[in-house]
Structure 1
Amino acid sequence: MDVKNMDFQKTINKAVDRLSLQQKLIALYILIIIIPIIIFISIYSSNVYDRAINEIRIKSENALEIEKIHIKNNIESMRRTAQMVVSDIEFIDFVKSRNEANIDQLIDFRMNELSNVTRLQANNPAIENIRLYTTNPYITEMWPILFKEDRIMEKPWREEVINRNGMEVWWFDQQTDDVLERLPSQNTAKISLLRELDYPKDEHLGIIEINMFLKNFFPKMFGSVQDPDSVYVVIDKDNNMIRNFHHTYFEDEGIDTEDLKLKFNKSKHEGTGSFQFENNETPYLVITAYIDDLDAYLLNVISLEGLYAETAKTRNVIFSGIIFLVIILSFVTYVLVLLLLKKMYKLKDSMKQVEQGDFSVDVEIDGQDEISELAFHFKSLLGKMNGLIAEAVNKQATAKETELKALKTQIDSHFLYNTLENIKMMAEIEGQYPISDAVTSLGEMMRYNLKWKNDFVVLDEELNYIKNYVDIMNLRLDGLLTLNIDVPQELHDQEVLKMSLQPIIENAIKHGIIPNDQKNEGILQVNARCSEDYIIIEILDNGVGMTKEECESLNLSIQTGVKNQKSDSKGGNGIGIHNVNERIQLYYGTEYGVFVTSEKGEFTMVTVKMPCKIMKGGSQSV
């Protein structure tokens, strides 16, 4: 996955690199404009959509509250009717009578008590039926109020009503056969309030049924004017869905009612609530309201397809308008950038001519902007380049002359080496071996000095050079000097600057050993050790030494280059200790260099610190 990402990133980088600066600026401009616009439109559309849904939710919740008020009124009306029937003492006494009534009693009952119950129904036109199903064998059925309980023995609600011991039971019948065994009509869906009558106490007497058609009980659900984008349904305590089957909303929308019930059961709670779901990529909003008297939920299922389409249309119109505006602005920006970069393109063409070898290009770009300033510096650069070319031609001619002089010098040095070799042979023939050794040392020193091809040598070569130097100085000092070298074998190939130790040896002899009036043996000790990343070379002499103040002054002179009597060196080849320190810091850095410690009348020790760099195979510089 990482490899694919890297390849994709490389492809993008290559594509961007192939674009001109003008195209990059236009692309950057479009990105800077388009990306915030897309984000803004998305957020704005989402907020508009959410606000619209919230408005729909509030409107639907208000409609549900109004519907609940209607339902509450219908519930109270049915309860009040049931209570008035139960409270009619003459009616109830006749029903619970255990004596068979004669004709006069029956006529009197029908004309009075039964008429009172019939008037209750007439006074409540929304109530469809008031019925009493009795188990009293002495009672004769009087339609449409009084019936034998045998007619409802198969009803599914009978057992539940008896088990509730006089508590009311609400029952929904979507479409059932009438107890009078009439044909079912098209609108027989109803809701029934059922209560058990017991007399005496705990003795079953009958069941009262007050029912109302659902079209009257739920006016919104069964209203004649239906909203094509929404539908009302009820889900009862047994998870049965009660709805208006004449409204084909679910069939038209292709919504599975069982799936809707599952989604509802996952989010239902008492009171008013809502949830959303999708069906066939169409969003829906469901507002729920709990009806505690019925232990049921009233649902308003609302399609958001129209809202979603309207929001998308608005978003697309806004986005299209902005895209059109961005295209116009991009074209204008393209022209303006072209004018702004005209000077840069002219400067680029001039650079191409210089690249092809034409250094006589005249860059004429006026103005005070950055490109004009760049053109001015480029023109100055061309002038310097032309001057350097002329200088290089002159130097080339001078180099030819220098080569001739170098050839002459080489011939002279060979002549000198041959002469010294002849003197050495003559000294050996005469038995003057000290003179022969001195001539040999002098020849090696001259060869080391004259053949300077590199600033770096191995430590072993520098040590051989100071050996030859001490041998020459012993001719002058009658063998006063003794040189001891203690350097581990692995450091013999350590890289050092050429002629970095000889000026220190010369300084030690000239200012330390020779001024010693006692003329004792002068001992020069050279030690070397290496840490992980640097090497320490110590050169110790047993000369006159220095006081603390003189030593500090000398160290200051070495670091700053300010000459004083303690630190200046005029012997040897003229490279002072300060020059050695300066060369080391120039090549390796200021953390390296030379430092002096001394005790008056005892010793002087010069410490040289350089990076540890082993030159495998030795040096080729000499």
Structure 2
Amino acid sequence: MSRLIRLVGDVYYSMSLRTKLIISYLLLIVLPVGLLVYFSYMNIHKTVLQQSGLAYLEAIKQAEKNIGYGTETAKAIGDQAQNSYDIQRILKTVSQRELTLSEEIDFFMLLNKNILNYEMIDNIVTVHYFMNGNARFVSSNPNIRNIELLALEPSLRPMLSGNVHEGWFGASDFTQMSFARSDELIYVREIRDLGTLSKTLGYLMLEINSRFVWNIIRDIRLPEGSVIAVTSSNGQLIESEYTANLDKGLFEAVQTEVAGEPSKGIARIKRGLMDYYVVYSAIPSLGWTVHLIMGEEQLGANSAWMTRFLFGLAAVICLLAMTSALIISGTITKRLKRLVRLIRHAEKGSLKTEDNVRGNDEYAQLQRAFNRMSVEIKQLIEEVYQAKISKQDTEMKLLYAQIHPHFLYNTLDIIHWSALRIDAKDIAEVTQSLAKFLRHSLNGGKDHIRLSEELDGVERYMYIINFRYKGSIRLTMEVEAETDEEVMPKMILQPLVENAVVHGIRPKPQRSGDIVIRAWREGDDLLLQVADDGAGMDSERLATVLERYSEGYGVKNVHQRIQAYYGEDCGLSFESAPGQGCRVTARLKPGRIKEH
């Protein structure tokens, strides 16, 4: 996550100011607009779903009324059969005794006429009468059947037990009576004895062409991809042209969802990643329930135009936001680009300024500050130019001054040979040591020498000092192997040795003593130590030794030069006590020399 944040940060900081302004502006406009469009769409879509569901529910109610008008014919036929004197007489007689031949013929003619009259009515396909007794008469006509056949059908058992007096069925509800066709509705009506109204004489069954029902249901305009499922009173699916593409699993989920719910309503079903809606309502006249099953996309199809409008509006707003972002950012960065051009000219040495600076905004303040800076830089350049000329003049003078050391070397060389001619060897040695010491000090203008050269210079210095003190100061060197080739700044040890002579040994009454120079490695560090057995120092003087100035290369100068070359963790350290001499240790880091 932190890596991703760093990557985003790198991309952001690599962008131009104008790009950052455009992105920030668009985020402030596009993000709120996007959220507004999204929540508006969700709210409108939800409202459309509700309104569309209610509209389809109302359409089912209207279909229910129209179907009710169609079923009134069947009920009217049932009422006529129930109240017909001839039907009552025939059913009673057949159930009570054997018929005479003349009665059989008479009853056959009456029933046949009755059946033919009913079958001439629209949508009535076949009329059946079911009765008890008189097997010969019952088998004389295919439209006259024995009640025992009804008992074979589980769906008719509630009616046979007297709990229900009439009912509507689909052909699929009958498993034993094969005469009913799949596209027919079955209306069964109980016929009771008008005398007692408690005895069942028989049953009337009408086979009705179901085309009028499906035509009414078809008038419910459904979006493409939707499915209509119709179930009978016992929950069985009524097969029709609409059930060919019905997902059985989806239908089972629908039945589970609406089970125990009111007779009409709207339900939402989650199946996998899809949301489905079912609008359902019962048709009391048939005992059926109509289910309109459709996906959320089909039910909310009416919100498509609003969706297009909202996203179109969002696109227009984003376009306007982009245009205004380009204009505003261009206005802001245009002046900054002019300032950047002036800065690039300044990098090339052309210090131009913009004279006509208007306003007092941040850019105007920045431009005025740049103008002041350019003027000051011009003045500094002029001063540096003058200083450079002065430096060149000084360097010329130094070149001329180099003649003097050569003259001094030549003079000392003349003294050296003159002393040898008169056999003054001490004077010759001192003169030669002084010449070598001066050459070591100047070193051709170089700042760094090898440790061995530094030690050689110290020996020359001590030879001259002992000429004065008649050899009373003894110098000892303890140098670790291979350290003599280390490169170091010149004139480090000589000032320390001189400090040991002047402040350590000379104050002693005899003016004699020992000086020991040590050199060794400690890790990557090179340590140089000058120890004497002189007068030493008290703690108060020891605490301020690096704060005092002295002429020439004093110890403070040595300490500062070491830190300048090697860093603050290097330099001089002192150990001393009154009457116990002094030890000065210089810590150097040969592998870390700062550039000067």
Task: Tell me the TM-score normalised to structure 1 length.
Answer: 0.61
Rounded to whole Å, the distance in 1 between the matches of 2:401 and 2:386 is 23
Instruction: Report the alpha carbon displacement of residue 345 of structure 1 after superposing the two structures with TM.
Output: 5.9
The DSSP-based 3-state class of the residue aligned with 1:365 is: coil
Letter in 2 for 1:140: V
- For 1:449-491, what per-residue CA distance to the aligned partner results, in whole angstroms no more than 9, with x for missing partners? 32464544454443443333333333233241313232341x4
Rounded to whole Å, the distance in 2 between the matches of 1:214 and 1:342 is 83
Residues 231-380 of structure 1: pairs in structure 2 closer than 5 A: 231-234=227-230, 242=238, 245=241, 257=245, 260-261=247-248, 269-271=256-258, 274-275=268-269, 285-287=276-278, 298=291, 300-302=293-295, 303-304=298-299, 306-307=301-302, 309-323=304-318, 325-326=320-321, 329-330=324-325, 333=328, 338=331, 344=336, 347=339, 363-365=355-357, 367-380=359-372
Which residue of structure 1 lines up, in the alignment, with residue 462 of structure 2? 470
Structure 1 residue corresponding to 2:410, chosen from 398, 418, 429: 418
Letter in 2 for 1:530: E
Instruction: Report the alpha carbon displacement of residue 159 of structure 1 after superposing the two structures with TM.
Output: 9.9
Q: Any conservation in 2 of the 1:536–1:609 contact (CA below 8 Å)?
A: yes
Which residue of structure 2 lines up, in the alignment, with residue 570 of structure 1? 550
User: Cα–Cα, structure 1 residues 328 and 494, in superposed 2: closer, same or farther, change >3 Å?
Assistant: same
Q: Any conservation in 1 of the 2:41–2:307 contact (CA below 8 Å)?
A: no
Instruction: Report the alpha carbon displacement of residue 597 of structure 1 after superposing the two structures with TM.
Output: 2.2
- For 1:405-461, what per-residue CA distance to the aligned partner results, in whole angstroms no more than 9, with x for missing partners? 223222222222233334444555666555555444433332233246454445444
Structure 1 gap segments, 5+ residues each: 1-8, 82-90, 119-126, 194-207, 251-255, 562-567, 616-620
User: Cα–Cα, structure 1 residues 331 and 467, in superposed 2: closer, same or farther, change >3 Å?
Assistant: same
User: Cα–Cα, structure 1 residues 181 and 267, in superposed 2: closer, same or farther, change >3 Å?
Assistant: closer
Q: Any conservation in 1 of the 2:532–2:581 contact (CA below 8 Å)?
A: yes
Which residue of structure 1 lines up, in the alignment, with residue 39 of structure 2? 44
- For 1:203-229, what per-residue CA distance to the aligned partner results, in whole angstroms no more than 9, with x for missing partners? xxxxx999997979x989953640333
User: Cα–Cα, structure 1 residues 65 and 538, in superposed 2: closer, same or farther, change >3 Å?
Assistant: farther
Structure 2 residue corresponding to 1:538, chosen from 529, 553, 566: 529
Residues 212-227 of structure 1: pairs in structure 2 closer than 5 A: 223=217, 225-227=219-221
Rounded to whole Å, the distance in 1 between the matches of 2:256 and 2:563 is 84
2:473 pairs with 1:480: yes
Q: Any conservation in 2 of the 1:459–1:492 contact (CA below 8 Å)?
A: yes
Which residue of structure 2 lines up, in the alignment, with residue 88 of structure 1? none
Rounded to whole Å, the distance in 2 between the matches of 1:129 and 1:540 is 141
Letter in 2 for 1:466: V
- For 1:287-307, what per-residue CA distance to the aligned partner results, in whole angstroms no more than 9, with x for missing partners? 38899xx99994522514624
User: Cα–Cα, structure 1 residues 332 and 379, in superposed 2: closer, same or farther, change >3 Å?
Assistant: closer
- For 1:544-599, what per-residue CA distance to the aligned partner results, in whole angstroms no more than 9, with x for missing partners? 33344443x23xx52xx3xxxxxx3636x24333x333333444443333222223
Letter in 1 for 2:308: K
- For 1:21-74, what per-residue CA distance to the aligned partner results, in whole angstroms no more than 9, with x for missing partners? 6x547634653345415632553355236524663697489779999x99xx99
User: Cα–Cα, structure 1 residues 13 and 593, in superposed 2: closer, same or farther, change >3 Å?
Assistant: closer
2:397 pairs with 1:405: yes
User: Cα–Cα, structure 1 residues 604 and 352, in superposed 2: closer, same or farther, change >3 Å?
Assistant: closer
User: Cα–Cα, structure 1 residues 179 and 575, in superposed 2: closer, same or farther, change >3 Å?
Assistant: same
Letter in 2 for 1:546: M
Letter in 1 for 2:46: R
Structure 2 gap segments, 5+ residues each: 1-8, 79-87, 116-123, 189-202, 259-265
Q: Any conservation in 1 of the 2:574–2:583 contact (CA below 8 Å)?
A: yes
Instruction: Report the alpha carbon displacement of residue 262 of structure 1 after superposing the two structures with TM.
Output: 5.2
Which residue of structure 2 lines up, in the alignment, with residue 147 of structure 1? 145
Which residue of structure 2 lines up, in the alignment, with residue 529 of structure 1? 521
Letter in 2 for 1:287: V
Which residue of structure 2 lines up, in the alignment, with residue 507 of structure 1? 499
2:562 pairs with 1:584: yes
Rounded to whole Å, the distance in 2 between the matches of 1:549 and 1:510 is 19
Q: Any conservation in 2 of the 1:221–1:232 contact (CA below 8 Å)?
A: no
Q: Any conservation in 2 of the 1:176–1:189 contact (CA below 8 Å)?
A: no
Highest RCO, 1 vs 2 (Cα 8 Å, sep ≥ 6): 2
Structure 2 residue corresponding to 1:445, chosen from 437, 444, 459: 437
User: Cα–Cα, structure 1 residues 402 and 151, in superposed 2: closer, same or farther, change >3 Å?
Assistant: same
Letter in 1 for 2:217: G
Instruction: Report the alpha carbon displacement of residue 613 of structure 1 after superposing the two structures with TM.
Output: 0.8
Q: Any conservation in 1 of the 2:49–2:299 contact (CA below 8 Å)?
A: no
Rounded to whole Å, the distance in 1 between the matches of 2:37 and 2:373 is 53
Which residue of structure 2 lines up, in the alignment, with residue 595 of structure 1? 573
The DSSP-based 3-state class of the residue aligned with 2:138 is: coil
Residues 28-67 of structure 1: pairs in structure 2 closer than 5 A: 28=23, 30-37=25-32, 39-41=34-36, 43-48=38-43, 51-52=46-47, 55=50, 59=54
- For 1:481-502, what per-residue CA distance to the aligned partner results, in whole angstroms no more than 9, with x for missing partners? 313232341x445454433333
The DSSP-based 3-state class of the residue aligned with 1:300 is: strand
Rounded to whole Å, the distance in 1 between the matches of 2:485 and 2:577 is 32
User: Cα–Cα, structure 1 residues 341 and 231, in superposed 2: closer, same or farther, change >3 Å?
Assistant: closer
Q: Any conservation in 2 of the 1:234–1:297 contact (CA below 8 Å)?
A: yes
User: Cα–Cα, structure 1 residues 211 and 342, in superposed 2: closer, same or farther, change >3 Å?
Assistant: same
Rounded to whole Å, the distance in 1 between the matches of 2:578 and 2:377 is 59
User: Cα–Cα, structure 1 residues 181 and 360, in superposed 2: closer, same or farther, change >3 Å?
Assistant: closer
Instruction: Report the alpha carbon displacement of residue 319 of structure 1 after superposing the two structures with TM.
Output: 1.5
The DSSP-based 3-state class of the residue aligned with 1:223 is: helix
Q: Any conservation in 2 of the 1:221–1:244 contact (CA below 8 Å)?
A: no
Residues 103-252 of structure 1: pairs in structure 2 closer than 5 A: 140=138, 147=145, 173=171, 188-190=183-185, 223=217, 225-229=219-223, 231-234=227-230, 242=238, 245=241
Which residue of structure 1 lines up, in the alignment, with residue 378 of structure 2? 386
Instruction: Report the alpha carbon displacement of residue 509 of structure 1 after superposing the two structures with TM.
Output: 2.4
Which residue of structure 1 lines up, in the alignment, with residue 263 of structure 2? none
User: Cα–Cα, structure 1 residues 468 and 38, in superposed 2: closer, same or farther, change >3 Å?
Assistant: farther
Letter in 2 for 1:521: G
Rounded to whole Å, the distance in 2 between the matches of 1:492 and 1:264 is 101
Q: Any conservation in 2 of the 1:270–1:289 contact (CA below 8 Å)?
A: no
Q: Any conservation in 2 of the 1:343–1:372 contact (CA below 8 Å)?
A: no
Rounded to whole Å, the distance in 1 between the matches of 2:291 and 2:564 is 92
Rounded to whole Å, the distance in 1 between the matches of 2:415 and 2:498 is 26
Task: Tell me the TM-score normalised to structure 2 length.
Answer: 0.64
User: Cα–Cα, structure 1 residues 366 and 211, in superposed 2: closer, same or farther, change >3 Å?
Assistant: same
Percent of aligned positions that are identical: 19
Letter in 2 for 1:443: A
User: Cα–Cα, structure 1 residues 432 and 357, in superposed 2: closer, same or farther, change >3 Å?
Assistant: same
User: Cα–Cα, structure 1 residues 505 and 173, in superposed 2: closer, same or farther, change >3 Å?
Assistant: farther
